[in-house]
Amino acid sequence: MAEIQQEKEAIAKKGNFLWGKGKMDGFHASPLKIRKRLWERRGPPRENQGESNRLSAYAADSSVRAIIGSRFKDRDTFLMILQRGIKLFAGMSLPDLYPSSRLAMLVSRVPGQMKRYREERDAFMDAAVREHQENRAADDDKEGLLDVLLRIQREGQLQFPMSIDNIKSAVGDLFAGGSDTSATTLEWTMAELVKNPKVMGKAQDEVRRALAGQPKVTEDSLGGLNYMRLVIKEVLRLHPPAPLLLPRECMNDCRVLGFDVPKGTMVLVNAWAISRDPAHWDAAEEFIPERFERGEVDFKGADMEYTPFGAGRRMCPGMSFGLANAELALAGLLYHFDWELPGGAEAEELDVTQKMGVTVRLRRDLLLVPVQKLIFCKPQYPKNHVFFGVSGKEVGTCWGLLGPKEKMTAKVAEALIRRFDEPLTDEDIAIIAKLTRLDPDALRVAGGMAGPEGGEETAA
């Protein structure tokens, strides 16, 4: 135990290099791209264009950015290889059913597919390591996990040497385990929020109050989003990303609930069933984020009735990163959009049938319609610029931007505002007028409200 503690302290001295506060924003170019894709969508979502695929792309890209870094030119190919490996790992094969049968190994194609996958993954990891080693001196980007591990290996101050093979294995495992679980959590969160509109409204109100006036979500703006965190906790209770966690090996002969468990037995813990056990949870099958308000139960491994990340020394090492990843994405989705089911379907009609695998996903792709909300943003540009969100169900003009010498007339304002789903209120007008220094009467005319006829030209 003393040696393990010394090892942890040695790594800690290298700095809070990745998972700590303030480290997430550098890895999150992808949420802006997702927002742009949602803005550009017109009409009801088509097959394979739903939120499940977009959330998967976001989670995978964020993981790649954090672990490998944006400098890796073959990142997209690397991503496809790892996704294929996850599918192979989740599938059933003859050697799984008959592990002692040599005939099963010979007949099945899976062992050969796994071998080819491992060779391809190792080749890409070798390329990534070489690329980082060659370009490190000339590159001043933020460090990814691979950079940090290479630096620790180079400085050689650990009690146990770290080999290149150790680094490749750690990086590959972290990405394979992190991308799919993050996407699963986000997918189930959006599904549960759509099914529970009151919870959705409460979470959106909190996010929009906390981020009022900001053009985008950053890690620093997440501090006051307590209810949103309760929502994520409840999703992790009902839908743990890895419902059976990772296999454990029994180190000694033991007796559990009257059953003898020999040494060497592979043990699976059904975290999904435990977190829905009525003996530990009131209204166990209902989605009630408020159950965590008192903070009596947490997922850090001390409460065995709630272990979405496992427990003990082998609990998930990427827990902090995964949570920050999910919080940033969810805050952005709630801040910028309202969400509806296609075709005006009711919340009760949402199909939440589960698809089993390493992670439990929705059987059908999650198809939602994003409705852009009016978000008032403080000017982020030189003096006299105007910057505010404009759009509705049919996303056309997403942002209005006037230069310092341009002028706003009622006609121009109407062209920008005409796509709002609902008429502007007096409060809306007051906020826009304050942020843009436009004439409130001209804005009322543009927004279809009662006011003086016409509208004089007003300088932006």
Q: Take residue 174 and report the two structure tokens written for it.
A: 């972290």
Euclidean distance between CA atoms 432 and 378, whole angstroms = 10
Cβ neighbors of 22 (< 8 A, separation 6 or more) are: 219, 220
Q: What is the DSSP string of 139-193?
A: --SPP-HHHHHHHHHHHT-SSS---HHHHHHHHHHHHHHHHHHHHHHHHHHHHHH
Phi–psi pair at 413, nearest 5 degrees: -60, -40
DSSP-derived 3-state class of residue 459? strand
- How would you classify residue 216: left for phi > 0, otherwise alpha for psi between -120 and 50, otherwise beta? beta
Q: 316 among the known binding-site residues?
A: yes
Nearest to 118 by CA among 74, 163, 168: 168
Euclidean distance between CA atoms 342 and 199, whole angstroms = 20
Q: Please, how many CA atoms are within 13 Å of residue 137, restricted to the half-sphere of its CB?
A: 2
Amino acid identity at 448: G
Q: What distance lies between CA 344 and its chain's CA centroid?
A: 27
Q: What distance lies between CA 162 and its chain's CA centroid?
A: 30
Q: Which residues of 222-261 are buried (b: 16+ CB within 10 A; e: fewer)?
A: beebebbbbbbbbbbbbbbbbbebeeeeeeeeeeeeeeee
Q: Take residue 322 and report the two structure tokens written for it.
A: 């995964």
Are 271 and 308 contacting, i.e. CB atoms less than 8 angstroms apart? Answer: yes
Are 72 and 150 contacting, i.e. CB atoms less than 8 angstroms apart? Answer: no
Amino acid identity at 398: C
Q: Take residue 77 and report the two structure tokens written for it.
A: 């190919």
Give the residue numbers of the binding site for heme: 316
Give the residue numbers of the binding site: 316
